[in-house]
A = this chain, B = another copy of it.
Amino acid sequence: MKEYVLGIDLGGTKIDACLMTEDGEIWKSITVPTLADEGAEAVIERIKGCIFELIKYANQDEIISVGIAVPGVIDAERRVVKHLPNLPSWKDVPLPGIIQNVLQIPVAMENDANAAALGEYLYGSGIGIDNFIYITISTGIGGGIILNGKLFSGEWGNAGEIGHITINHKGPKCSCGSYGCWEAYASGTALARFAREGILNGRETIIKDKAQDEGIKAEHIFDAAKKDDKFALELIEKQGYYLGVGLANVVNAFNPRLIVIGGGLTNEWEMFYDNMINTMEIRAFKTNTEGLKIVKTLLGSKVGMVGAAAVGWSLIKKK
């Protein structure tokens, strides 16, 4: 008999769902828009819709568990989604229980970066590496921790919130309520904010032309830098520095063998890589950096979906 896990990656703009075998083969996948503005109940209905669509592609007894990845804070003990920054209507939603009632099979949930870490461990850049940290750098910064060959998600499911390690205690207010978090300095959102601030202060740059009528995004800054725009190049240098500061914190706290970096900003990895690594090496314990490897995600844009399914598999196989 074939066996599948149903993986659901709930994102701020889209829901990716799939049936995946234990070998990591995606048997069938679908993507629907999240339409978060319509509220939690409507989004849950769309998640159920994905499930009903996918189960057509297997016999019901072939689907043995569900893994869910959500973009925010959970309470693993009470099995609820506590708070999702990009889906503000989600408060204390018992999502695993709701899905379990639909399918009558075991359901596991993790936050998206933790799920991605497990995905990279079982199917990506982390295969065979028992101590590593996955870091996603996109609109925010998230982390997932594999220790001794297991996902370590902490006491209530929220370990690895390394984007919310303060790198400047007097820094700007962060979306999490704290101040000067790594995310507030080194995420794509922060990069765009620094660009807007510079432009308001009269810096000459073609970033605004790249953005045209849209708001300025990280990608516009990378585009401008490729045209040798001085301000854009400065911003990306600073971005590499801030990434390195936070990486050094991670390296000193966890002493991992490997760091896998995913998220949208890895598309432009070459532009900030050297500065990021140099900064980290200056600031972190030498013994902790000498043998350390830092690589890009192997799963790329599939990491969310594969990670969610990996969470389902680890529930069954206790990997």
* Interface residues in chain A, defined as those with a beta carbon under 8 Å from any beta carbon in chain B: 73-75, 77, 82-83, 131, 143, 147-148, 150, 152-162, 164-170, 176-179, 242, 245, 248-249, 252-257, 282-285, 287-288, 291-292
Contact = CB atoms under 8 A, between A and B. Distances in A.
Contacts of A158: 252, 255, 285, 287-288
A282 B166 contact: no
18 contacts: A75-B287, A131-B154, A147-B147, A154-B288, A155-B256, A155-B292, A156-B255, A159-B253, A159-B254, A161-B255, A161-B285, A162-B253, A165-B252, A166-B245, A168-B170, A169-B242, A176-B285, A253-B253
Q: Which 7 A-B pairs have the closest CB atoms?
A: A154-B255, A159-B255, A178-B283, A161-B252, A155-B257, A164-B252, A165-B249
Contacts of A249: 165-166, 249
A256 B242 CA distance: 26
Contacts of A82: 287
Contacts of A253: 143, 159-162, 165, 253-254
A160 to B, nearest CB: 7
A253 B75 CA distance: 15
Given A160-B253, A179-B283, 19 more contacts: A74-B287, A82-B287, A148-B152, A155-B256, A155-B257, A155-B288, A156-B291, A161-B252, A161-B253, A161-B255, A161-B285, A162-B252, A165-B249, A166-B167, A167-B167, A167-B169, A169-B245, A177-B283, A178-B284
A83 B288 CA distance: 13
A170 B166 CA distance: 13
Contacts of A285: 73, 158, 161, 164, 176
A107 B221 CA distance: 55
A165 B285 CA distance: 11
Contacts of A170: 168
Given A82-B287, A255-B157, A169 B169 contact: no
Contacts of A284: 178
B288 A156 contact: yes
Contacts of A131: 154-155
Contacts of A160: 253, 255
Contact of A150 (B148, B242, B283): B148
Nearest to A73: B287
A130 to B, nearest CB: 9
Nearest to A284: B178
A255 B157 CA distance: 8
A131 B154 CA distance: 7
Contacts of A150: 148
Contacts of A77: 291
B156 A287 contact: yes
A83 B176 CA distance: 37
A165 B165 contact: yes
Between A75, A147, A166, A257, the greatest number of chain B beta carbons within 10 A of the residue's beta carbon is seen for A166
